[in-house]
Amino acid sequence: MLAALMLLQAAGLPPAPQWRPDAPIPPPSSMERPRPGAAGAAVGVSSRRIARSPDGHFYADGLVNGVGVRFIVDTGAGMVMLTPHDAMRAGIVVAPDDFRMQARTAGGTTDVAPVTLKQVAVGERQARDVAAVVASVDTGISLLGMSFLRHLKRVTIENDVLHLE
């Protein structure tokens, strides 16, 4: 199980393992490759396979509204959760009054603002109008949760490789 946790109290989701904000974020694994033709920084994975990182997690570079975002893949997270920095870069504007929900993270409970992402893509896998939240504090890395993963046909882990189909 992955160490990230995102529990929306309003959704009543069961607890999941927690991610430590002080944990180092490794570079993309050797199985992750830049998407052909991607503009700017190389993001995304051309393969449906992501190797487990040495710290035990699966990291994926993706796009949110066309902007590169580094995710920790968390099948225990009910929603995609963006850091404030990633949300800002993706053009998502939230006001202080928008933080009307709460999520439990490794650092404790934090306020989150519900948003809808126009598009989320990891490699060739894409979803539109993805429910997500923006954290009110920097959680260290954005989470790729079930609100995106449920759009896929299958998500499996075999021999330390995450398969996105």
Task: Find the domain containing 158 and state its range.
Answer: 7-18+28-164
Q: Residue 69 belongs to a domain with what CATH number?
A: 2.40.70.10
In a domain, 1, yes or no: no
Strand, coil or helix: what is 11? helix
User: Which pLDDT score, from 0 to 100, does residue 104 have?
Assistant: 82
**What Rg, from alpha-carbon coordinates, does the chain have?**
15
- Write down the pLDDT at residue 146: 95
Would 2 be classed as within a structural domain? no
Instruction: Quote the CA–CA distance of 140 and 164 in Å, as a whole number.
Output: 24
pLDDT of res. 165 = 85
Q: What pLDDT does residue 106 have?
A: 66
In a domain, 70, yes or no: yes
Total residue count of the chain as it appears in this document:
165
* DSSP 8-state assignment for residue 35: P
Question: What's the confidence (pLDDT) of residue 76?
Answer: 87
CA 33, CA 109: separation in Å to the nearest integer?
Answer: 35
Tell me if 80 sits within 8 A of 145, measured CB to CB.
yes
Give yes or no for a contact between 28 and 59, defined as CB atoms under 8 angstroms apart: yes
> So what's the pLDDT on residue 88?
96
pTM of the model: 0.72
Describe the strand order of the beta sheet including 155-158 as a list of residue ranges. Answer: 49-51, 161-164, 155-158
Measured distance CA(48)–CA(46) in Å, rounded: 7
Per-residue pLDDT of the chain (165 residues; tens, 9 = 90+): 233 333 333 333 333 333 333 444 444 443 443 333 333 333 334 346 899 999 999 999 999 999 999 999 998 889 999 999 999 999 999 999 999 999 887 677 889 999 999 999 998 889 999 999 999 998 889 999 999 999 998 899 999 999 988
Residue 112 forms part of a structural domain = yes
Is residue 120 situated within a structural domain? yes
Beta strands in 10-164 (DSSP E): 49-51, 59-64, 67-73, 80-82, 101-105, 108-122, 125-135, 142-144, 155-158, 161-164
Domains in the chain, number? 1
In the chain, the amino acid numbered 153 is K
Task: Assess if residue 49 is contained within a domain.
Answer: yes
CA distance 150 to 65: 18
Q: Considering the domain boundaries, does residue 143 fall inside one?
A: yes
Query: Do the domain assignments include residue 121?
Result: yes
Which helix H or strand E contains 89, and what residues bound it?
helix 84-89
